[in-house]
Amino acid sequence: MIRFRTTRSPIPTLCICWLLLTLLVALITPILPVASPDTAAPERAWSAPGDGHLLGTDALGRDLFSRILWGSRISLACAAAGAFTALIFGVSWGLLAGGGTARRDNWMMRVVDLLDSVPVVFLVILLASVARGSAWQHAGGGLALFFVVLGIVYWTPMARVVRGETRALARREWAVAATALGTPSSRILWRQILPNLIPTILVTVTLIIPRVLLFEAFLSFLGLGVQAPEVSWGTLARDAFEVLNPVHTAWWMVAFPSIALALTLLALNILGDALRSDLDPKLRR
Amino acid sequence: MSRLLLKRLGASLVTIWAVFTISFFIIRAAPGGPFDADRDPPPDVKRAIEERYDLDAPLWSQYLAQIQGWMMLDPGPSLRQPDHDVASILSAGLPISLTIGGLALLLGTAVGIFLGLIAALRVGGWLDHLVVVIASVGISLPLYVIAGMLVLAVSFGLGWLPPAGWESVPSLIMPVLCLALAPAAQAARLVRSGLIEMSSEEFARTARAKGISPFRVLFRHCLRPALIPLVATLGPTAAALLTGSLVIEQIFAIPGVGMHFIQGALNRDYPLVLGAVLLYTVLLQLMTLLADLMLLSLDPRLRGDAA
Amino acid sequence: MDSVSPKSLLDFRFLLLLSLDLVFLLLLDLGALLDLQHAGLGQSDGEVFSLGEASLSFQLKDAFVASQDISSSLEPVTGLQGPVNRHLLLLPTGTLRHHACWAQILDRIDNDRGKSPEPAGRNRQHPVTVQDNGLPCYRQGKPAIWRGLPGRGHKPMIAAESGQRMKFRTIAILISFGIATSIMALLWRSPLPGRADLVIGNGTDPGSLHPHRATGNPEGRIIRAIHEGLVLLDPETLDPMPGCAESWQISADGRHYQFQIQHGLRWSDGTPLDADDFVRSWLDLIDPLQGAPYGDLLESVTGARQWRNGTGEREQVRIQSLDSTLLEIEFDHPVPWFLYLCAQTPLQPVHPDSAGRAGPGIATNGPWMLTRWSLRDRIRIETNPEYRGPSRPTLKSIDFLAAESANTQLNIFAAGLSDWTVRVPAAAIPILRSDPIWSPRWRADPYLGISFYRLNLERPPLDDPAVRRALSLSIDRQQLCRDVLGGDPEPAYGFVPWPSPAIERQQQKLIDRGIPSALTSGLPGYRAMVAIGSEYNGLHGVIPAHQVASEDWPRLGYDPRTARELLSEAGWRVPGSTEGREIPTLEILHPSGSTSSLVAQWLQLAWKRELGLDSTIQTLEWRSFLDVQRAVDYDISRSNWIADYPDPATFLTLFTSDSPNSRTGWSDSEYDQSVALALAEGDPELRMQLWQQAEKILLERGPVLPLWSMTSGNLVSEEVTGFFANPLDQHDLRAIGRRSR
């Protein structure tokens, strides 16, 4: 178990426990004895918690508790998609950029800057419409496309961080010495520099995932996110927003999904901070 | 240094042009057009409408026309609101977004630095955790949920502030507050981790050994280098804040520029959305340049490269 | 801010704020810039030396020992002559640590400098600061932070006490902040002279306010207030009343109209308005080159179709002014709804100088004029002093708010900042109807619009009429309206909405809620047709709606048993049996939006439960959705259709073969013929019968699945008077007033 030297408190460990619990629940949800998230019982729409529905029901009378559980699956899948793309593309791009010549570094980072400036919504609309009629449309229940979008957007922060660190490391004496010894640069990059980056990469991943989930919620706000009948925490947040008005305040629809989402994101953020402080090589004695 | 600035300027212009081109072709590739409606006019009338806005010309000539238009700062009328040109639409919303964004940036950064300082003073203690949680709350929920709850609580529960609008100082408070949550969280975390790092450096420990109080050590000596990572991300943060946020503008009915990015794309209002993209990119380059200048002042190690 | 001005980028307030914001940001870096400047320009009188490693200390120590004067101590090392003033000595790493004598040297430098007593406090100067390779170091407990790294050569540097730098920076920040906030305060001082008499939450910032370009209700509301057409409509009954025209005559065959226009009418800029303005405006509306989206409303004017086809000329279109106050117009076939059209947005007169634009500077002729268009904030209209027409409105100024989000509109209304809002979130509707606080303000009146699904008859299994009927019969529309829509709309079983049973039920609902307004019928004189389930009072298939009693209306089209029987008779598999072909999966296509999504999910569940039919739901963003629908690349897709005028023609011409809005690929020559006959018929009674026949064909074999008749949803404050229900949701602002606050 990692001991968190810097903070010396149990909170980061608690965070890890919560995240593992969420992951576990998400994985075993299909076999849990909860109501199906799709069972609409419109006559019981908007009912408060209690009486058969642990956390209440939504606009079509669907059980909120089961929707939160099933929603966690899709949300975590989104997180995984973002993390995966960040890992594969972001790390390689950053390594190649930071470990290469200044010219290559310059051009590669220009591309990253460019991608950051292009508005994402265009890409979302375009991809969704381009995919229509092709096999992509229904792959993974329509979500595969969505994951591609998330991946495209979120590999750039990883690339930047990895590039910065690689640049710093590549100027260290041992890297210079390795080059002088005739080691091919790709080997230096992958075998020697990359292992040193793992703490940073880990930290960055834990800090990218909250952004991915918030972006998914943002797309749901626009109507471009995960579509019915799939449910995710982003769509639940959107449904919550619908009832945040002074006329009809179904508090359970706001409170419970928010708590689930907030706890998870908080856990990720706190964990990321703790990891960053803990894995800082300067603190190693 | 002027050579440095010129090189940066050149690179920025190239980036702006590239972003413009990519955005142009992507948004044109999306299906549907600006004049599609549930009740379409007959096809030849639709053609006449499109001709009026040169949408029937080949894509390359439209692209060149757009570039030319923007170089003269006269990009033509918006397609959805043909009574206004894109220039006046953007210049109507920009001061408002700048105001809200600027205030949010100031507030968020100041509060964030303050919180980070407090947390670093008591690393590992309950205060540290409390501060980190408070700072992170702003980025642990979607902004629209937080804004919705805030409006409900403050406007309707307590009745202190108007729920929306752009009319007076009270109507500003909640949008700025909501917009400041994200930069505050980021600033707090970066400053906190930076201060923790700096406080283990030799000079800080020397200072403590000399009897200087922990707060002074942190504030007067460690803070400046600890701000470096924050300033490094300040460029994109500032640009994003200054161009407003769609969510905040929709919920609080603020007539800023943020809506145009997304609504323009959804409406296929090509000139407007390209204008918004240009605005954002220019602002991003400007903010990044200013942030790099600040970095030069904060981090002496960079100046060797600069010269 | 005025927005109809070219080159608004040069608006001085914008430039001022932008430059001050930039100054503000630059001031934050002024310290850095000054330093760099000094680093580059050599204005100081000090120099920096970077000293080598080992030999230094010995040399210096020896020199120090040799001489008590510090300047001569440093001279052999640095080569610098004269007093040691404002110098910076840069040492390699660790030198300080290893050579404690430096502390003594530095102290001596200090004391040496001034024979006069050292001034106290922050003004003490440290002319010499020693740096350990770039990191800050300490002397006597005071930090000495230096700026900048020297280059290879000797670059002058100033080392000043950090306290001074901090002070300068703080002042700079405070000043720039002060400037920025005062500018922001200035910007808010925009002349908004108080709250308008009526504030309307208009749903969105309008597109174009030009009558020929406008397409939606938010635009229409404003345009009909700032313009005035030939005719105005009675707020309750929608009967035509004099507007710009004092009187009119219609020929017996219904094809010739003559209007007498009032004398002395004026535009808001004072120029006179007469019949020629109407002729020009309407011809511009029809003009194919000007591309007005609603130009087809006047297509039945004699000569118009030819002109639009390219075979005729503008002069041949039969809209003429016989003199300055007499207007004549002739149609190919009777257009009984023409007087209604004259009050609509596209037929409003347009000023000759408008050049296709609208805005505060363009003259209009209505009782109000546009005085202010703050983009995405609000539009204000105020009394037009040049107005000479018949209306006598009581409101002097009206604001139209442009908030986009339905939640925000509701919040604004709930906080009392608006008096009437046209959009509310769907989730709020059940409470708005039932809660005694909200119910008196919630007006859900019948609206001549039909919500339905388009069917693609080329795709299996929709090519089988039995499947289509089964799909329709297995939907409990009453429950759909209650669960998903809040209970206001009524089920629809035909394509023309609001037949009499539905109207009666709607009236009863309003009476139950205590709303006193009288309700008019949906479409006057028309007896719609409806498709029913198994049988009703011995009738089958498609029957006239008025033969249905209003209490039987909700269950009329809900008969899942018959639906399953139809399916199994046609050879499909039904739940509970294993014979027959399995029904292919249907794709339900709808645009993004919470109501559309809920309806689609509801349908999916209903069909699964009643028929065992599997379906997938596909959501597309609005314009992508329209694109797909136009290409007829769907199985079933969600649709609405709203009446352009109160006549069945507006609904039933939608699916003729040459209609540009059919979007179903359906073409039936018998239907086309039926519609053409009805359009050409002059006798009102006969026309209605012909329309009934056309609707019958549409319901029997057409590509529609009707769901519900739409209701308008307005939240109107109790202080507003003159707000009447009418089936076209047109609430003339001329009739609206406000009780005193």
pLDDT digits (tens, 9 = 90+) for A221-278: 888 878 777 889 999 999 999 888 888 888 889 999 999 999 999 999 888 888 877 7
Give contacts of C442 with chain A, Cβ < 8 Å.
none
- Give the pairing of strands C326-330 and C48-50: unpaired
* Average pLDDT estimate for C65-93: 43
Q: List chain A residues with CB under 8 Å of B141.
A: 237, 258, 261-262, 265
Query: Which alpha helices (H) appear in B122-245, and where do they start and end?
Result: 126-137, 143-151, 170-198, 202-209, 214-216, 223-232, 234-242
pLDDT in tens, C249-305: 999 888 999 999 999 999 999 999 989 999 999 999 999 888 888 988 998 999 998
Is the pLDDT at C652 greater than 70? The verdict is: yes
Cβ-based contacts of A218 with chain B (< 8 Å): 142-143, 247
Residue range C354-362: mean pLDDT, rounded: 88
For B123, name the nearest residue in chain A, comparing CA atoms only: A7
Reply yes or no on whether the pLDDT at A283 is more than 70: no
Residue C736 has pLDDT above 80, yes or no: yes
Instruction: Output the pLDDT for position C635.
Output: 93
A80 close to C (CB below 8 A): no
User: Once rounded to an integer, what is the mean pLDDT over residues C418-439?
Assistant: 89
Kindly tell me if the per-residue pLDDT of C147 is higher than 90. no
**pLDDT of amino acid C621:** 83
Q: Nearest C-alpha of chain B: how many angstroms from C34? A: 10
Cβ of C18 under 8 Å from any chain B Cβ? yes
Which stretch of DSSP H or E encloses residue C400? strand C397-401
Touching subunits of A (3+ CB pairs, under 8 Å) are B, C
Which residues are CB-neighbours of B152 under 8 A, at least 6 positions away? A244, A245, A246, A249
Which ipTM value was assigned to this complex?
A: 0.90
Asked whether the beta carbons of residue C604 and residue A138 sit closer than 8 angstroms, the reply is no
Phi, psi at A127, each rounded to 5°: -65, -40
pLDDT tens per residue across span A26-56: 888 888 887 777 777 777 778 888 777 788 8
How much is the pLDDT for C171?
61
3-state SS class at C114: coil
CA distance C405 to chain B (A): 6
For chain C, how big is the Rg over CA atoms in Å? 40
Q: Which helix (H) or strand (E) holds C144?
A: strand C142-144
For the ranges A10-19, A91-100, B121-130, B264-273, the lowest mean pLDDT is seen at: B121-130
Residue closest to C224 by CA, chosen among C400, C385, C58: C400
Mean pLDDT in residue range C517-537? 71
Are the Cβ atoms of C660 and B40 closer than 8 angstroms? yes
Share of chain C above pLDDT 90, in %: 35
Q: For all residues of chain B together, what is the average pLDDT?
A: 84
Lowest pLDDT segment from C173-177, C290-294, C298-302, C645-649:
C173-177
Contact assignment for B294 to C29 by CB distance below 8 Å: yes
Check: CB of residue C396 under 8 Å from CB of residue C382: yes
| Mean pLDDT, all residues of chain C | 77
Question: Residue B262: which of A222, A240, A249 has the nearest Cβ?
Answer: A222
Buried b (16+ CB within 10 A) or exposed e, A220-246: bbbbbbbbbbbbbbbbbbbbbbbbbbb
Q: Which of residues C186 and A177 earns the better pLDDT score?
A: A177
| Residue C483 with chain A: CB contacts under 8 Å | 42-43, 45, 60-61
The Cα B117–Cα B128 span in angstroms is 10
Confidence of residue C167 (pLDDT cuts 50, 70, 90): low
pLDDT confidence bin for A282, thresholds 50/70/90: low
- State the smallest CA–CA distance between residue B253 and chain C in angstroms: 5
Check if A225 contacts B (Cβ < 8 Å). Answer: no
**Chains touching B, CB cut-off 8 Å, 3+ pairs:** A, C
Is B61 at the interface with chain C, CB within 8 A? no
* Predicted local distance difference test score (pLDDT) of residue C282: 94
Higher-pLDDT residue of C487 and C398 is C398
Q: State the DSSP string of A199-250.
A: HHHHHHHHHHHHHHHHHHHHHHHHT-SSPTTS--HHHHHHHHHHT-SSS---
Give the CA count within 13 Å in the CB-facing half-sphere of C619: 25
pLDDT confidence bin for C180, thresholds 50/70/90: low
What does A147-161 look like in DSSP terms, one character per residue? HHHHHHHHSHHHHHH
Hey, are the CB atoms on C296 and B42 less than 8 Å from each other?
yes
A43-57, C116-130, C331-345: which is most confident: C331-345
Closest by Cβ to C602, choosing from A40, A129, A245: A40
Question: Which residues fall within 8 angstroms of residue A250, CB to CB, at 6 or more apart?
Answer: A46, A48, A56, A243, C427
**pLDDT tens for each residue of B115-132:** 988 888 887 778 888 888
pLDDT at residue C176 is higher than 90 = no
- 170-199 of B, contacting C, C-beta below 8 A: none
Residue of C nearest to A122 (CA): C621
Q: Tell if the CB–CB gap between C427 and A243 is shorter than 8 Å.
A: yes
Report whether pLDDT(C81) > 60.
no
CB contact under 8 A, A242 and C594: yes
